[in-house]
Amino acid sequence: MSKPKNPWDQGNPDRLYILTTGRSSTDQDLKLDLVTLIVARSETDPGLQPEHAAIVRMCDYPLSVAEISAYLTLPVSTVTVLLTDLLTNDQVEARPPVPVAALPDVRLLEAVMHGLQNL
């Protein structure tokens, strides 16, 4: 039994070239990595290409670049170019991921949980 291919992995790079209008990288100095969170700033615009519109619709709540790439079944490099377009047009916003130091201490949460259970 053969492994199913992703829609973009069919040996034809034309689709990815068309999606990114031939750009393989961005001119901007935007730091988008796999864990950068993307959230929509507006509703979808009827003039957007389908992939741009899909990103704006799915980012009602923050999604990482890696999640967007997985949902669209597109390579991260292609999604990064699409996201740069949307960021330039202020249709989405990039947020850094939550730093580990900002997360609550697990031991403290466990202590509170055990204290509540003992009540």
List, run by run, the mean pLDDT of 10-residue segments along the chain (119 residues).
50 56 57 88 81 90 92 85 87 83 79 88
Q: How many CB atoms lie within 10 A of CB 111?
A: 11
Structure confidence at residue 30 (pLDDT) = 67
Structure confidence at residue 49 (pLDDT) = 84
Which residue type is seen at 18?
I
Handedness of CA 32, 70, 13, 93 (dihedral sign): negative
Six-digit token pair at 40? 């929509």
Longest dimension (CA), the chain: 64
Q: How many CB atoms lie within 10 A of CB 105?
A: 9
Structure confidence at residue 88 (pLDDT) = 86
Structure confidence at residue 7 (pLDDT) = 52
